[in-house]
């Protein structure tokens, strides 16, 4: 029996003036451990007249993680944070009961060609913490645990694994690992994993149980303890997951919660301007309209 339970292909999604590859949520697999949302941004070459301008928008009930491979993004939020995110840094924003942030091309790059490539990830908060005070943490590239085993490079972006712990302040038991190999290797890491596990192929390919899998897809394991595969030369993958929550999560736009009532309150609060504001920013992203159910004729 194959240990691959679900294969998730990237689907195009428009986030304003930028097209991304959406991976989670997926109709057949809403979450992997506490991970509830993953977008693959780029790789994109933006011309001098093209910029990222995601105006102030709210979040509740989750932590966002931005991890770039190329380019940079200027992050501002209602805690007063103003930081430019560069490749290999970790930008970790915990929304809790509510935060607003914006994401833009830095001012000094707005009139020149630039590249952008990376991952944007949401991690749901445990039920007892979904109403916590918002928080922000920024980790420099050299703060992230990195090591090499048998020529394979590992980097622990968040969580705990292989006896290492990332400084990123996560709120549940999880892991997010970058694995790179310049040569073809067999990797057996199931003993070091827990909960649910997903594997995202950024570049190159892997082989599992006689099948070869190429980029822009997530493979979700039936049993993380049986996680063994061959990583081909010049391949980069991201291994993520952790202990799933016992409760269902509802998601609408940028809101994640354990009840629909919390979602409805957040929607009303955004409509009525009850979230905090970012000083100097006024181009708020409006609440998207409800999409009515489409009923097929019998």
Q: Is 117 annotated as a binding residue?
A: no
Q: What is the pTM of this model?
A: 0.93
SS (H, E, C) 126-182: CHHHCCCCCEEEEECHHHCCEEEECCEEEEEEEEEECCEECCCCCCCCEEEEEEEEC
- Residue 57 marked ligand-binding: yes
Query: According to the model, what pLDDT value does residue 295 have?
Result: 35
pLDDT at position 188, please? 87
What are residue 247's phi and psi, to 5 degrees?
Answer: -100, 155
User: How would you write the pLDDT of the chain (298 residues) with one tens digit per residue?
Assistant: 457 778 888 888 876 566 788 899 888 788 999 999 999 998 999 999 999 999 999 999 999 999 999 999 999 999 999 999 999 999 999 999 999 999 999 999 999 999 999 999 999 999 999 999 999 999 999 999 999 999 999 999 999 999 999 999 999 999 999 999 999 999 988 788 899 999 999 999 999 888 999 999 999 987 776 678 999 999 999 999 999 999 999 999 999 999 999 999 999 999 999 999 999 999 999 999 875 543 333 2
Res 297: pLDDT: 34
Structure tokens at 285: 């992203």
- Per-residue confidence (pLDDT) for residue 64, from 0 to 100: 98
Residue 49 labeled ligand binder: no
CA distance 89 to 15: 22
Three-state secondary structure call for residue 256: strand
What domains can you pick out in the chain, each with its CATH number?
4-242 (2.60.120.10)
Instruction: Using alpha carbons, select from 284, 287, 90, 269 the residue that is nearest to residue 178.
Output: 90
101 is in an annotated binding site: yes
CB 5 within 8 A of CB 221: yes
Tell me the C-alpha distance between 104 and 243, whole Å. 33
Residues 6+ apart with CB under 8 A from 241: 32, 33, 35, 174, 175, 193, 195, 196, 197, 198, 224
């Amino acid at each position: 029996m194959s240990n691959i339970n679900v294969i998730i292909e990237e689907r195009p999604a428009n986030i304003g003036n930028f097209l991304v590859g959406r991976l989670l949520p997926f109709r057949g697999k809403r979450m992997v451990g506490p991970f509830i949302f993953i977008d693959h941004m780029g790789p994109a070459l933006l011309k001098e007249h093209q910029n990222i301008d995601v105006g102030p928008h709210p979040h509740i009930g989750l932590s966002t993680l931005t991890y770039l491979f190329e380019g940079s993004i200027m992050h501002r939020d209602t805690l007063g944070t103003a930081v430019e995110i560069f490749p290999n840094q970790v930008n970790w924003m915990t929304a809790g009961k509510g935060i607003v942030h914006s994401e833009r091309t830095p001012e000094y790059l707005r009139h020149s060609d630039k590249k952008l490539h990376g991952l944007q990830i949401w991690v749901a908060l445990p039920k007892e913490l979904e109403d916590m005070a918002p928080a922000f943490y920024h980790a420099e590239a050299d703060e992230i645990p990195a090591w090499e085993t048998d020529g394979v490079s590992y980097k622990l972006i968040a969580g705990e694994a292989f006896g290492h712990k990332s400084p990123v302040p996560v709120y549940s038991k999880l892991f997010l690992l970058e694995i790179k190999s310049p040569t073809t290797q067999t990797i057996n890491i199931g003993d070091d994993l827990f909960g649910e596990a997903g594997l995202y192929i950024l570049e190159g390919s892997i082989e599992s149980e006689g099948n070869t899998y190429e980029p822009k897809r997530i493979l979700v394991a039936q049993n993380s303890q049986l996680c063994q595969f061959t990583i081909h030369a010049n391949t980069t993958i991201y291994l993520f997951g952790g202990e799933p929550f016992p409760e269902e999560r509802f998601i609408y736009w940028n809101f994640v919660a354990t009840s629909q009532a919390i979602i409805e309150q957040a929607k009303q609060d955004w409509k009525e301007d009850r979230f905090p504001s970012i000083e100097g920013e006024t181009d708020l992203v409006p609440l998207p309209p409800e999409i009515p159910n489409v009923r097929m004729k019998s």
